[in-house]
Structure 1
Amino acid sequence: MCTILAFVFAAVAILFAPIIFGPAAIVLGLVGGYLGDRPLGWYAAAAGVLGGALGFVLGAIVLNAAS
Structure 2
Amino acid sequence: MADMHATARPRSSAARICTILGFVFAVIAVFFSPLFFGLAGLILGIVGAVLGDKPLGWYAAAAAVVGAILHMVVTAALLNS
Provide TM-score, normalisation by structure 2: 0.76
Number of corresponding residues: 65
Structure 2 stretches of 5 or more lacking a match? 1-16
Q: What's the counterpart of residue 6 of structure 1?
A: 22
State the Cα RMSD in Å: 0.8
Pairing 1:41–2:65 present: no
Q: In structure 1, what is the Cα distance between the partners aligned to 2:24 and 2:18?
A: 10
Could you tell me which runs of 5 or more consecutive residues in structure 1 were left unpaired when the two chains were aligned.
none
- 1:55 shift after superposition: 0.9
1: CA distance, partners of 2:26 / 2:38: 6
**1:19-58 superposed matches below 5 A:** 19-58=35-74
Please state how far the C-alpha of 1:62 moved relative to its aligned partner: 2.1
CA distance in 2: counterparts of 1:2 and 1:63, whole angstroms? 34
Q: Give the structure-1-normalised TM-score.
A: 0.91
The one of the two structures with greater contact order (alpha-carbon pairs below 8 A, sep at least 6) is 1
Larger Rg: 2
Q: After the TM superposition, which parts of structure 1 deviate over 6 Å for at least 4 consecutive aligned residues?
A: none
Deviation track 1:37-58 (CA, whole Å, cap 9, x = no partner) reads 0110000001011001001111
| Amino acid in the other structure paired with 1:4 | I
Structure richer in helix, relative to its length: 1
In the TM superposition, residue 60 of structure 1 has moved relative to its aligned partner by 1.1
